[in-house]
Structure 1
C-alpha cells in the first residue's frame, strides 16, 4: 500500500475513533468533573499512578495546567499525591478510594454503553474486531 493512502486511512480511522471515544467519555463522566478531569481520572484508572509529566503528556496539557487540574481533583478528594521516596521533587498522583469507586462505576457504565452501541454485532464480528484491535495495538502502538 502506498504510504499516502496508509496515512489517509490511519488519519480517517483515528478521527472516527476519537469521536467515538469522546462521546463515550462524555456519556460516562460524572456531572461534577470536567471532561479534562475525567480524562485524568481515566488515565489514572488504567495506570494506577503517574507523575504530573506523564499526565500532561497523555492529556496534551502543559505542566502548570496539569498541576491546576490535579489540584482540583485533590480538593474533590478523587486523587491523592505522594512524593517519590528517592526524589522528593517528583510527585505521583493516584486515585483515592472515592476516585477508585467513581471510576469503577464509570467503567461499568461504559461497558453497558459499548454493549448497547455494538449489540448488532454477532459473536464472529466481535471476535474479528477484537483480533483487529490486537493487531492495531501490536503494530501501531507497540503493545
Structure 2
C-alpha cells in the first residue's frame, strides 16, 4: 500500500477511535467531575501513581492547569499527593480509596457499554478483532503484545 494511503487510513481510523473514546469517557464519567478531571483519574487508574508533569503530558495540559485540576480532585478526596522521598520538590499523585472505587465502578460501566455495543460480534470475530488490536499495538505503538 502506498504510504499516502496508509497515512490517510491511519488518520481516519485515529479520528474515529478518538471520537469513540471521547463518547465512552463521557458516558462513564460521574456527573460531579469534569471530563478533564476524569481523564486524569483514568490515567492514574492505569498508572497507579504519576507526577504532575506526567499527568499534564498525558492530558495535554500545562503544569499550572494540571496543578489546578489535581487540587480540585484532592478537594473531592479522589486523589492524594505525596512527596518523593528522594526529591522533596517532586510530588506523586495517586488515587485515594474513594477514587479507586469510583474508577472501578466506571471501569465496570465501560465493560457493559463495550459489551452492549459489540454484542453483534460472534466469538470468531471477537478473536479476529483482538488479534488486529494486538497487531496494531505491536506495529504502531511498539507495545510488543502480538506473538
Q: TM-score range by the shorter chain?
A: over 0.9
Question: TM-score with structure 1 length normalisation?
Answer: 0.98
**Aligned pairs (5 A) from 1:77-88:** 77-88=77-88
Report the CA distance between 1:62 and its aligned residue.
Answer: 0.6
Determine the C-alpha separation between the residues in 2 that align with 1:19 and 1:68: 26
Structure 1 gaps, min length 5:
none
SS of 1:92 mapped into structure 2: strand
User: Could you list the runs of 4 or more consecutive aligned residues of structure 1 that deviate by over 3 angstroms after TM superposition?
Assistant: none
1:6 and 2:6 equivalent?
Answer: yes
User: What is residue 72 of structure 2 aligned with on the other side?
Assistant: 72
User: What is residue 54 of structure 1 aligned with on the other side?
Assistant: 54
SS of 1:58 mapped into structure 2: helix
Question: TM-score with structure 2 length normalisation?
Answer: 0.96
Structure 2 gaps, min length 5:
none
SS of 1:93 mapped into structure 2: strand
Aligned CA-pair RMSD: 0.6
Q: CA-to-partner distance for each residue in 1:79-127, whole Å, 9 max, x for gaps? A: 0000101011111000000000000000000000000000001111110
